Amino acid sequence: MLINKPNDIRPSEITDKTVYKQRRRFLQGAGALLGVTATGGLMALGTPPRDLQGNKIFKDLPRGIASIDGPLTDYEDATTYNNFYELGVGKSGPAENAALFKTDPWSVTVAGECEKPGTLTLEDFLKPHALEERIYRLRCVETWSMVIPWVGFSLGDALKRFQPTRDAKFVIFETLFDPDRLVMQNFDLLDWPYQEGLRIDEAMHPLTTLAIGMYGEVLPKQNGAPLRLVVPWKYGFKSIKSIVSIKFSKARPKTTWSDLQPEEYGFYANVNPDVSHPRWSQKRERPLGEWFKKDTLLFNGYAEQVAGLYKGMDLKKHY
Q: Which residues bind ligand MTE (CB under 6 A)?
A: 1, 82-86, 140, 175, 194, 223-224, 236-237, 239-242
CB of 179 vs ligand MTE, minimal distance in Å: 14
CB of 287 vs ligand MTE, minimal distance in Å: 13
Q: Residue 88 or residue 112: which is nearer to ligand MTE going by CB? A: 88
* Residues whose CB falls within 8 Å of the CB of residue 81, separated by 6 or more in sequence, listed in order: 91, 92, 144, 288
Measured between alpha carbons, how far is 192 from 210 in angstroms, rounded to an integer? 21
Q: Residue 99 or residue 164: which is nearer to ligand MTE going by CB? A: 99
Q: Residue 242 or residue 258: which is nearer to ligand MTE going by CB? A: 242
* Residues whose CB falls within 8 Å of the CB of residue 233, separated by 6 or more in sequence, listed in order: 207, 270, 271, 299, 300, 301, 302, 303, 305, 306
How many other C-beta atoms lie within 10 A of the C-beta of residue 199? 16
Q: What is the 3-state secondary structure (H, E, C) of 225-258?
A: CCCEEECCCECHHHCCCCEEEEEEECCCCCCHHH
CB of 79 vs ligand MTE, minimal distance in Å: 8
Backbone φ, ψ for residue 72 (5° rounding)? -75, 150
Q: Which residue's Cβ has the minimum distance to ligand MTE?
A: 236
Question: What single DSSP character describes residue 280?
Answer: B
CB of 139 vs ligand MTE, minimal distance in Å: 8
CB of 59 vs ligand MTE, minimal distance in Å: 22
CB of 151 vs ligand MTE, minimal distance in Å: 13
CB of 149 vs ligand MTE, minimal distance in Å: 13
Q: Residue 153 or residue 265: which is nearer to ligand MTE going by CB? A: 265
Q: Residue 164 or residue 176: which is nearer to ligand MTE going by CB? A: 176
For residues 196, 49, 26, 13, the Cα torsion angle rounded to the nearest 10 degrees is -10
Sort 8 into a burial class: Cβ within 10 Å, 0-12 / 13-18 / 19+: exposed
Sort 16 into a burial class: Cβ within 10 Å, 0-12 / 13-18 / 19+: exposed
CB of 176 vs ligand MTE, minimal distance in Å: 8
* Residues whose CB falls within 8 Å of the CB of residue 139, separated by 6 or more in sequence, listed in order: 145, 235, 236, 271, 285, 296, 300
Q: Residue 134 or residue 241: which is nearer to ligand MTE going by CB? A: 241
Q: Residue 87 or residue 114: which is nearer to ligand MTE going by CB? A: 87
Q: Residue 168 or residue 176: which is nearer to ligand MTE going by CB? A: 176
